[in-house]
Amino acid sequence: MQLIDDSGNLFGLVNVVDALVVLLALAVGVAGVALVTADDGADESAPELSTTNATLDLGTQPETVAAAIEAGDTYSPGGNSELTVTDVHVAPQGGDARVHVRVRLRGQGDNGTVAYDGAPPRLGRSLKIQTDSYAVSGAIQSTGGGAELPTQRTPVLLERTASAETAAAIEVGQTIEFAGRDVATIESATSYRTGEPGQRRLAVGIELVTVGEDRPRFGGQIVNEGATIPLTTTDHNLTGTVERVGATEPRGEATTREVTLEIDRASPELAAAIEEGDAERVDGRTVAAITGVERENATVVVTSDDGNVYLREHPVDQQVTITADLAVRETADGVLFRGQRIQRGSTVALDLGDVTVEATVSSL
């Protein structure tokens, strides 16, 4: 039998052209099946990727570096591992910035964990973040949870001494910024005179932007009574000791209390300098107002040659009794004047402008 007959049929049955078309179709089909099979094999061998969140403590960084760190920054140490910054918290500390970041880690999944850069994100492990602008590293503090840091606004009352100029520059309602972020808001401010000229004792109520839930921190310091909070920026120096947590006003209820003060054996010049109507004022507030002054010769104890003791008038010095209205705060523990407790026998210093007097509380 001829392979191709006179009519162009293969083996006398199928036209040669038709046979070539069938062979071409079979070849394309086989190639397609091979390609699909190869793709299925690639999907089966590809690693499974997972993600988790973690908090990193980057320690202290220059303010310029802290300002450069932003949510959305990414870094890959290689392979399938990738880190993305999702939240940032910054606070002043020692002239630099204390930085915490929340990051999303992507890596190969293994038994419910994420292998980032070849190892699980264990607590204490140090991770690197590097971009075109900065390179930092920090230890893992926690893992899991959401993409945001546990930040909150924590009310505190800070106390410190400062210059009169610093005290006068404090503005209630002002927001304090550091490294391009809001870190605190001034809610109240009270200043008192001290025994040093030009110095004030400040009680400043502040809402701090802290990080942490059970034990909020600011600048690496746990916020509790007695702690020193590092709140020093380019424009402010309010670093102070925490007097209260959870409140921005001094303790007690503000009121005016009439107090009787006595100066024993005042010189005639001092006695004459104290007058009704005198007052101590600080930053526009009246702290103490003199409502009455009584003077009489001071008494002294003398002993005669025969050993007898007598009470005699002093020939020069005077006894001065002052009635004054003091701006105080009444608390469950007693009466506070300038933030300090006073009672009978306490010594009170009043700055009346031309003269400063020290007197003993005889009644309140």
Average pLDDT over residues 106-134: 92
Other beta carbons within 10 Å of 16: 12
Q: 75: which residues sit within 8 A by CB, 6+ positions away?
A: 82, 83, 128, 129, 130, 131
User: Residue 1: its pLDDT value, please?
Assistant: 47
Average pLDDT over residues 173-199: 91
Q: How many CA atoms lie within 13 A of 294 on its CB side?
A: 7
User: Is the pLDDT score of 39 beyond 60?
Assistant: no
Range scoring the smallest mean pLDDT among 239-243, 258-262, 345-349, 353-357: 353-357
pTM: 0.76
User: Residue 35: its pLDDT value, please?
Assistant: 44
- Between 49 and 70, name the one with better pLDDT: 70
User: Is the pLDDT score of 3 beyond 60?
Assistant: no
